[in-house]
Amino acid sequence: MKITFIRLNMFEHISSDAMKPILFGIIKSLTPADYEIDFIDERVERLPERLDADIIAFSVETYTAKRAYILARKYKTDSNIIVMGGFHMAVMAQEALRYADTVIVGDAEDTWGSFLADCAEGAPKRQYISSEKFELPVMDAAPSGFEQVYKHKYYNLGVYQISRGCKFHCDFCSIKTMYQCVRKKSVDAVVAELKLVKEKLIFFVDDNLFYDRDSALELFRKIAPLKKKWACQISMDAARDDEILSAMKKAGCFLVLMGFESLNPGSLERMNKTANRAAVDYDAVIRNVYRHKMLIYGTFVLGYDSDEKDVFDKTFAFALQNKLAVTNFNPLIPMPGTPVYARMEQENRLIYKKWWLSDNYRYGETAFFPARMTPEELRDGCLRIRTEFYSVKCIVKRLFSNPIHFLPWNLAVFLLVNFISRREIHSKQGQLLGGILHEADVD
């Protein structure tokens, strides 16, 4: 049997910010050798008009759901099987079953093999649901590397995942829709895998690498001899921990992604950002990270009910004053399955019943009615400060504002990420997600 596995893009657009899809390597490790399998990343290559495959598999996020449904209709034949998995399936499996023959809910380790076996018998089920209870050795046995599955270099950036899930319960985050608990690979499995990869530059995409402080310190100690340079997401509690930061730096960390999310105490309260509220003084946390010579990528979510119209200028000023190397100024997007989506739906504040399927919603727009500004003001405010932050003038000003930006590796990464972000803002804003699905399909 032949399988074509597709990593979808949000729209028909070749992206310059695509990172290596971890799932390709995992699926490769879980697929028997007698299957022919082709991996396509739509973000960096064009899809063919026709696909000659027995199974066509889509990894679906909410932003790519409409694209998946359009392509499922395009590629479906009487003889093939369309299967969909990914985060969106965790909350919208029934929606997807209108377009797919089968959906996989949750992780692939304990579902993909069963699905393939049933396909071989000619009787795939409509749904396969991960138990979320498979043991640690199963994750260890599914490495994400597998260089032979990747056709593109992805800036020679290695992308790896040590754990799945997050210990926090943020109001806007969709992680908990798929992962109710946190599971991790063993430290030794991670070290063994990293020894085999060619890339010197690594991004750990874990939502929270610091669920277990002792295992995090063990990881940093054991990967230090590999001489990799790496970045990761970091929570406020870890950013205040000098022992953690020192161990990270010695192990090769040069950049941390921090979710500041808001400067507004009321918004942090509504977001349930417990670690951020405990941090109290963002400036002190930032100075602590800088003492360890690491760049900061700061993310913000704007448009919560406590946010006034001045939130944009205040957030932009904060990012400049604190010399952040990279930022994302994001309008709040109610993701299905999250508390904020349920609240907006109950209060009749959703502009679109399902914004991800709407033929009117455009990337970067507002999907709900904010409390203290119009939807247009939220959209335009985020776009304005994004555009200004990544203007050439501001990039140069920020580059020279912090001597850490000129350390080895830091300068190249600073320039690359800033100019890629600048390009993607202008190419993505206002794009129609996926294509035309037709409003009649949105129930």
Query: Can you list the alpha helix ranges (DSSP code H) found in 104-186?
Result: 112-120, 136-140, 175-178
Domain count, the chain: 2
What pTM was estimated for this model as a whole?
A: 0.93
Of 80, 96, 129, the position where a domain reaches its end is 129
> Cα separation of 442 and 359, whole Å?
10
Return the top range by mean pLDDT from 17-26, 48-57, 181-190, 280-289.
Answer: 48-57
> Cα separation of 410 and 414, whole Å?
6
- Shared domain check, 222 and 363: yes
Residue 195: inside a domain = yes
Of 66, 94, 129, the position where a domain reaches its end is 129
Q: Any idea what the CATH number is for the domain that residue 379 is in?
A: 3.80.30.20
Question: DSSP string of 31-62?
Answer: S-TTSEEEEEETTTSPPPS----SEEEEE--G
The torsion angles phi and psi of 72, rounded to 5 degrees, stand at: -60, -40
> Cα separation of 366 and 103, whole Å?
29
- Shared domain check, 261 and 298: yes
pLDDT in tens, 144-192: 556 778 889 899 899 988 887 676 677 877 766 666 666 778 889 889 9
pLDDT in tens, 21-40: 999 999 999 999 999 999 99
Chain-centre distance of CA 410, in angstroms? 22
Average pLDDT, the chain: 91
Res. 141: pLDDT tops 90: no
Res. 133: pLDDT tops 70: no
- Shared domain check, 316 and 243: yes
Of 114, 129, 144, the position where a domain reaches its end is 129
Residue 134: inside a domain = no
Question: DSSP string of 297-332?
Answer: EEEEEE--TT--TTHHHHHHHHHHHTT-SEEEEEEP
- Shared domain check, 159 and 122: no
> Cα separation of 420 and 154, whole Å?
13
> Cα separation of 322 and 425, whole Å?
22
275 lies in which domain range? 153-428
Determine the pLDDT at residue 426.
86
Please enumerate in sequence order all residues whose Cβ is within 8 A of that of 45, keeping only pairs 6 or more positions apart, or say none: 14, 151, 152
pLDDT in tens, 196-226: 888 999 999 988 777 778 889 999 999 999 9
- Shared domain check, 192 and 116: no
- Shared domain check, 159 and 123: no
